[in-house]
Amino acid sequence: MFKKMVAIVPMVLLLVGCSSSKKEDISYMEAATLWMQNAAEVRALTYQAFNAAKLSLDSELRKRHKKPLGIVLDIDETVLDNSPYQAKNILEGRTYNDENWSEWIDEKRARPLAGAVEFLNYAESKGVDIFYISNRKVKSFEATYENMKKVGLPVKKENLFLKTHSNSKDKRRKVVFQTHNIVLLFGDTLADFATEFDEKNSNERNILVDHFRKEFGRKFIVLPNPMYGDWEWALHEYDYSKENKEREQERQKYLYP
């Protein structure tokens, strides 16, 4: 009897271990998502971003331009709020993957960020062409377009550039730079503004931000996103294959007491 118990106990432990390993401890993400979903400061920051953008745009509209005026925006956490997807991940103990992310996109439930719809409709009313450059995949094109339309964001299919192969937005930006004078770029990740930021480590990113300091709030409009992004992957050398456990240990190295 005792021998049987000895054999069964490790079996049970093994089974428990297997089933719980499917649930990931992503509690470190809680504060960021709580902040995005509840802090009134987030609304204040997004209004601040679009108010600054309007001042800049109005000043550009008073100038003479050789090419038509255009503005370029990222989508996620720049005009659409995906915090419910993050909240669900935390509550269900799952992490981002292509499947659950596509499911969320297909629900077309993302709400616009405060101030985005008003600002973009204002820009459109002034004859400014609005381009969206996003790393959502092309398979999500229709759902993305419909979600944006539904919440009142001005969007034209021909001006919606999703990801075909590269994460870098450089080539897609160059296409719109050819035909338009792009006076504003909007994003929650620095790579939304300039190629220089692509896959740089934290230190390099901070140095580059100092270099571009005059552009923020003028040409580069930054939206807040502590939930995910290059800022986090920069801590892990952009190695997307790293397991949560390994990343947890790496994160500790970036806390400076």
- State the residues that interact with Mg ion by CB under 5 A: 74, 76-77, 188
Query: E strands, the chain, where?
Result: 69-73, 80-81, 111-112, 129-137, 160-163, 181-187, 220-222
* Cα–Cα dist 207/203, whole Å: 6
Nearer to Mg ion, 43 or 245 (CB): 43
Tell me how far apart the alpha carbons of residues 67 and 171 are, in angstroms, rounded to a whole number: 19
* Nearest distance, CB of residue 82 and Mg ion, angstroms: 9
Nearer to Mg ion, 77 or 129 (CB): 77
Q: Which residue is nearest to Mg ion (CB)?
A: 76
Q: Which is closer to Mg ion, CB of 81 or CB of 188?
A: 188
The CA radius of gyration of the chain, in Å to the nearest whole number, is: 21
State phi, psi for 179 to the nearest 5 degrees.
Answer: -100, -20
Nearer to Mg ion, 61 or 109 (CB): 109
Task: Find the shortest distance in angstroms from Cβ 182 to Mg ion.
Answer: 18
The dihedral formed by the CA atoms of 151, 154, 159 and 161, expressed in degrees to the nearest 10: -30
Min dist CB 77 to Mg ion, Å, is 4
Least distance in Å: CB of 154 to Mg ion? Answer: 18
Min. distance of Cβ 52 from Mg ion in angstroms? 18
Q: What CA–CA distances, in Å, run from 138 to 161, 199, 221, 229?
A: 8, 22, 25, 20
111-112/80-81 β-pairing: antiparallel
Whichever of 61 and 231 has its CB closer to Mg ion, that residue is 231
